[in-house]
């Protein structure tokens, strides 16, 4: 899934009128959390604010804004009860920011992309300006702030929390990329065999044709989720050793059986890796209870395990729900 600011940049550059719809505030049970964004054009949707009648109404409002050529942001409140045909029972406030007839030059978008994480401040009035405050304020969620007669939308903008480094473009690797492609994450997909990669890749995937596994491990961002599933057990071993010695990863999953794990542990122990370090290696991979060996089944089980670990990390950091949001 392409980040909303990257998608907005491409639409503005192409001269496509659109509206950014942001969930500003919620009460009670709602389909999506504050900070969720959706971009609406005359004929397409990018992202979702939860589906159902809420999204239908929001899309209709956004397209009327586009059709009328309006440039003024607007706030709309939606009670999610019988009047909207949804049984959530909560309440959602959405902000509609139009980009209709705007010039291709929108320097604040590039500033956001360069400055992540940052706070974006938007004036909710016709022709309102946008400023980026790098590293300023709280990153808890969007807030509406009154500044005289102007209302300011102050919202955090974060890079995708999930960075995946996937070694191996075989059947399981291809299935896993298809599953992860719809999540707000960045995937580096590495294999030495160029012919293994599909002709078309999702927007959030970068294919790297490389035989330098050690360099590729070292180049990955701290806190990455590593998945190792190459065509060679020896290469798997080398990659795992490099990742374990590096240490600053969020997850290391190795495809294979419990027997493969025992063999790897024995060989890595002889290379001086401690039991505590080896304990961070996950093999077999995937959530328990899914034993099928079909690539799609493995991919779904592995994606679920990654999300479990990501949400566990969020809880430890004090977040009530995953920071994965579009």
Q: Which CATH superfamily includes the segment(s) 162-316?
A: NAD(P)-binding Rossmann-like Domain (3.40.50.720)
Quote the pLDDT of residue 214: 87
Quote the pLDDT of residue 137: 56
Quote the pLDDT of residue 141: 79
In percent, how much of the chain has pLDDT > 90?
58
Tell me the three state secondary structure of residue 14.
Answer: coil
Quote the pLDDT of residue 320: 41
CA pair distance 208, 41, nearest whole angstrom: 33
Which residues are paired to 139 by β-bridges?
Answer: none
Please give the order of strands across the beta sheet that includes 251-254.
205-209, 185-191, 162-167, 225-228, 251-254, 281-282
Q: Scanning the structure block, which residue is given the tokens 């599909």?
A: 198
Task: Write down how long the chain is.
Answer: 326
pLDDT beyond 70 at 45? yes
pLDDT: which is higher, 116 or 276: 276
Shortest CA distance to 305 belongs to which of 159, 170, 176? 176
Quote the pLDDT of residue 82: 55
pLDDT beyond 90 at 257? yes
What is the average per-residue pLDDT within 71-78? 90
Quote the pLDDT of residue 90: 84
What is the average per-residue pLDDT within 279-299? 93
Which two tokens mark 206? 């970068």
Q: What are phi and psi of 68, to 5 degrees?
A: -85, -5
Quote the pLDDT of residue 225: 96
What is the average per-residue pLDDT within 66-85? 81
Quote the pLDDT of residue 127: 77
Cα angle vertex 144, ends 73, 74, to 5°? 15
Quote the pLDDT of residue 324: 41
Q: What are phi and psi of 165, to 5 degrees?
A: -115, 105
Q: What would the pLDDT profile of 166-205 be if each residue is shown by its tens digit? A: 999 999 999 999 999 888 888 999 999 999 999 999 888 9
Residue 138: pLDDT band with limits 50, 70, 90: low
CA 260 to chain centre: 32
Quote the pLDDT of residue 101: 87
Quote the pLDDT of residue 63: 96
Tell me the three state secondary structure of residue 164.
Answer: strand
What is the average per-residue pLDDT within 228-245? 96
pLDDT: which is higher, 85 or 219: 219
Q: Scanning the structure block, which residue is given the tokens 């999702």?
A: 202
Q: What would the pLDDT profile of 16-30 be if each residue is shown by its tens digit? A: 999 999 999 999 888
What is the average per-residue pLDDT within 3-18? 91
Mean pLDDT of the chain: 88
Quote the pLDDT of residue 321: 40
pLDDT beyond 50 at 245? yes
Report domain extents, the chain.
4-157, 162-316
pLDDT: which is higher, 216 or 313: 216
Residue 106: pLDDT band with limits 50, 70, 90: confident
Quote the pLDDT of residue 107: 87
pLDDT: which is higher, 127 or 278: 278
Q: What spatial distance separates the first Cα and last Cα of the chain, rounded to whole Å? A: 8
């Amino acid at each position: 899934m392409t980040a909303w600011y990257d998608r907005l940049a491409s639409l503005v550059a192409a001269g496509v009128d659109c509206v950014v719809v942001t969930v500003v505030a919620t009460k009670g049970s709602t389909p999506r959390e504050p900070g969720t964004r959706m971009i609406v054009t005359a004929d397409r949707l990018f992202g979702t604010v939860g589906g159902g009648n809420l999204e239908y109404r929001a899309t209709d409002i956004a397209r009327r804004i586009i059709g009328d050529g309006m440039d003024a942001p607007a706030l709309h409140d939606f009670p999610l009860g019988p009047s909207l045909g949804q049984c959530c029972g909560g309440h959602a406030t959405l902000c509609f920011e139009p980009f209709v007839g705007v010039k291709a030059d929108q320097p604040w978008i590039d500033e956001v992309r360069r400055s992540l994480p940052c706070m974006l401040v938007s004036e909710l009035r016709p022709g309102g300006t946008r400023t980026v405050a790098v590293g300023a304020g709280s990153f808890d969620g969007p807030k509406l702030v009154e500044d005289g007669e102007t209302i300011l939308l102050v919202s955090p903008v974060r890079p995708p929390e999930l960075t995946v480094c996937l070694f191996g473009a075989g059947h399981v690797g291809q299935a896993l990329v298809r599953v992860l492609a719809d999540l707000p994450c960045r995937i580096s997909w590495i294999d030495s065999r160029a012919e293994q990669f599909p002709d078309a890749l999702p927007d959030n995937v970068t294919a790297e044709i490389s035989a330098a596994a050690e360099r590729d491990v070292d180049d990955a961002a701290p806190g990455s989720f590593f998945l190792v599933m190459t065509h060679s057990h020896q290469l798997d071993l080398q990659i795992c050793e490099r990742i374990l010695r590096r240490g600053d990863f969020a997850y290391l999953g190795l495809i294979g059986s419990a027997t493969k794990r025992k063999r790897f542990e024995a060989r890595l122990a002889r290379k001086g890796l401690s039991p505590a370090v080896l304990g961070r290696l996950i093999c077999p991979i995937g959530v328990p209870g899914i034993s099928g060996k079909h690539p799609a089944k493995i991919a779904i089980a592995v994606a679920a395990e990654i999300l479990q670990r990501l949400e566990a990390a969020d809880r430890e950091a004090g977040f009530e729900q995953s920071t994965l949001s579009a």
